[in-house]
Structure 1
Amino acid sequence: MPDDSLMNRFDRNGLTRFRARDGVIALLVCAALLVVFKGDGLRSQGERMDPGWDRDVVLFFGNPAGDVADALPFADAVDDALAFLSPDEALESGGGFENVAAQAGGELPPVTKDAFEPAAIGAAPPRKERLRTLLVTGDSMAQPLDAKLATALSGRGVKVERDVRLGTGISKSFLLDWGELSTQQVKRRRPDAVVVFIGANEGFPIENGAGKEVECCSADWAALYANRARRMADTYRQAGNARVYWITIPTARDADRAKINRVVNAAVKVAAQPWASQVRVLDTVPMFAPRGYEDAISIDGQERIVRAADGIHLNDEGAGLLAQTVLARLGQDFTY
């Protein structure tokens, strides 16, 4: 019987007919060449896969294939020969992420673990320590808050140190340098926590690194102010051994002062960013001026006057409300 199958066409045209075994042998040869020349590619692909059984299978074959490729010089030669096919630019400017850690102290300091509030990343909060010494400091804004906190903590074994410097400010260092004062305060008192409430006297020109005075309230001025506040916050946190509660300034009645308040508050929030786990910014604006300046706000369903007659400071009622907020935040970090 003549061969009527389609395979007969190979014989009629003088072509070689391959068997299934020949195909298997060819596949094995190709696999061997891939292992020799690019076995490391299979391993790398497996390492980039998400955990799971498929990754385990790829690495089961990829690891030994990569070891073979590493032992031979062919893989590097292939990479060099085919490098011109890569669509990527040669990124060798030194700005890669692997260099960030080496730039500490340079233009781009590294982010550290202190920048993360444990709750923000789902981590367990640190064990609460007992609050023994609390420093309440600032300018006239800190009064009568300091007295309210001292009264609330009396009899609880907490020593409340009150250090209010009237008429001073972070931007007016010609009267008092808060960088120096904060250093002295920490050396003398070693507080477990520091409450900072300052800002009634801000808006003065600040000298930049070139010796030129920068007027309030541009972004340049805000940056200079933030750097001064950051220096103070770093001093008060005592290398992570203390907690700082920096209170923002409630919006003033006067429009010009309100503008300064806004810039100062923004600068303080930026200043605290490297140490979110230790420096807490307590924002008074939503509490006392959610819709702009108001003399009175609703407390327990009743309208209460919370601002002093000058339209800047808190009165006794307002300070009492703020003290409750501060004590509640202290209670999240300490026992007392």
Structure 2
Amino acid sequence: MPDDSLMNRFDRNGLTRFRARDGVIALLVCAALLVVFKGDGLRAQGERMDPGWDRDVVLFFGEPAGAIADALPFAEAADDVTAFLSPDEALDSGSGFEKVAAQAGGELPPVTADAFDPVALGEPAPPKERLRTVLVTGDSMAQPLDAKLADALSGREVKVVRDVRLGTGISKSFLLDWGELSTTQVRRRKPDATIVFLGANEGFPMENAAGAEVECCSAEWAALYANRARRMADTYRQGGNGRVYWITIPAPEDPERANISRAVNAAVKVAAQPWATQVRVVDTVPMFTPRGYEDAISIDGRRRIVRAADGIHLNDEGAELLTETVLARLGQDFTY
């Protein structure tokens, strides 16, 4: 009986007819090539993800794939050939976080006069300087604060530089090294004041001086985080020529994230201690979450929603309130 199906058109035209098994073999070959050439990419993608079950699943497959790619020379060759497709931003590589753990410890540093706020000691406040350039930087927490500050300072001969790096964090320097970025920002902008709002993407393991990974959120992890934050603060203060306003993270709704933000905020406060005259900590916890996470707080006698739907960020109303607080703090050190 003649075959009148559409499949006989391959035979009539002398074309090769592939079977389902051929497709499976092709997929397996492609998978093997991906592991050999880009297995490290799957592992790197998993390491960039926030802690959770989805990250665990990706790393379950990514770590053995990355180990295979590391053992073979093809992945590095492929990266070299395709590097021009996504060039990295040129940052000051000599100031990265990889040196922080190695430099920690050693001789006990002396306490200097910069560790004391003269006003807290009953001395007169130093003369205010003219504010000309403000750098607003951080991760997604810095939005829309950066836009509101730029709008509030427009027309006052103050240049506001907005440099927000979404998805980045101090404990995840494999995506962006804030040690290097802060050095680059200061070299290029030389801001009079730097406003840092950062911490929505933290909680990643960090290496200590012995090369061992330290998981969040122990005292050792907080110390490693504080060392990195202190390096940034020291860069932004520019040897006493700049002022830094580091904003803490209001407690998020998710309990796991709340534990991370608690460790981050504690580390930031310790990091700022050597330079009370130049590094100010703007604590948002008493303002937005004095009793833990709340969607709404009382503003001018009215209950207002101040948090975004994700339970992490500030909404427009919350950012407006924070803007007023930051401007008031700037006004204690600068005229504008």
Equivalents in 1 of 2:156, 2:314: separation in Å?
Answer: 26
Equivalents in 2 of 1:118, 1:282: separation in Å?
Answer: 18
Q: Secondary structure at the match of 2:304?
A: strand
- Alignment-derived partner of residue 185 in structure 2: 185
Equivalents in 2 of 1:107, 1:255: separation in Å?
Answer: 38
Deviation at 1:106? 4.6
* One-letter amino acid of the structure 1 residue matched with residue 250 of structure 2: P
Equivalents in 2 of 1:187, 1:207: separation in Å?
Answer: 28
Equivalents in 1 of 2:107, 2:226: separation in Å?
Answer: 17
Q: Per-residue displacement from partner, 1:209-228 (whole Å, max 9, x unpaired)?
A: 11111000000000000000
Q: Secondary structure at the match of 1:244?
A: strand
Q: Secondary structure at the match of 1:157?
A: coil
- Alignment-derived partner of residue 108 in structure 1: 108
- Alignment-derived partner of residue 46 in structure 2: none
Equivalents in 1 of 2:208, 2:124: separation in Å?
Answer: 41
Equivalents in 1 of 2:334, 2:178: separation in Å?
Answer: 26
Matches within 5 A, 1:61-100: none
Equivalents in 2 of 1:322, 1:180: separation in Å?
Answer: 28
What is the identity percentage for the equivalent residue pairs of Structure 1 and Structure 2?
83
* One-letter amino acid of the structure 2 residue matched with residue 114 of structure 1: D
CA RMSD between the two structures? 0.8
Equivalents in 1 of 2:217, 2:162: separation in Å?
Answer: 30
Q: Structure 2 length as normaliser, TM-score?
A: 0.68
Q: Secondary structure at the match of 1:303?
A: strand
Equivalents in 2 of 1:165, 1:107: separation in Å?
Answer: 35
* One-letter amino acid of the structure 2 residue matched with residue 278 of structure 1: Q
* One-letter amino acid of the structure 2 residue matched with residue 140 of structure 1: S
- Could you say which structure has the larger radius of gyration? 1
* One-letter amino acid of the structure 2 residue matched with residue 132 of structure 1: R
Cα gap change, 1:106 to 1:275, in 2 (>3 Å)? same
Deviation at 1:125? 1.4
Equivalents in 2 of 1:329, 1:192: separation in Å?
Answer: 14
Deviation at 1:107? 2.1
Deviation at 1:122? 1.1
Structure 2: segments with no counterpart, 5+ residues: 1-104
Equivalents in 2 of 1:253, 1:301: separation in Å?
Answer: 24
Q: Secondary structure at the match of 1:290?
A: coil
- Alignment-derived partner of residue 218 in structure 1: 218
- Alignment-derived partner of residue 169 in structure 1: 169
Q: Per-residue displacement from partner, 1:23-46 (whole Å, max 9, x unpaired)?
A: xxxxxxxxxxxxxxxxxxxxxxxx
- Alignment-derived partner of residue 127 in structure 2: 127
Deviating beyond 4 angstroms after TM superposition, the runs of 4 or more aligned structure 1 residues are: none
Deviation at 1:200? 0.2
* One-letter amino acid of the structure 1 residue matched with residue 204 of structure 2: F
- Alignment-derived partner of residue 277 in structure 1: 277
Q: Per-residue displacement from partner, 1:249-294 (whole Å, max 9, x unpaired)?
A: 0000000000101010000000000001100000000000011100
- Alignment-derived partner of residue 309 in structure 1: 309
Equivalents in 2 of 1:313, 1:248: separation in Å?
Answer: 12
- Alignment-derived partner of residue 83 in structure 2: none
- Alignment-derived partner of residue 85 in structure 1: none
Equivalents in 2 of 1:123, 1:223: separation in Å?
Answer: 32
- Alignment-derived partner of residue 333 in structure 1: 333
Equivalents in 2 of 1:295, 1:107: separation in Å?
Answer: 46
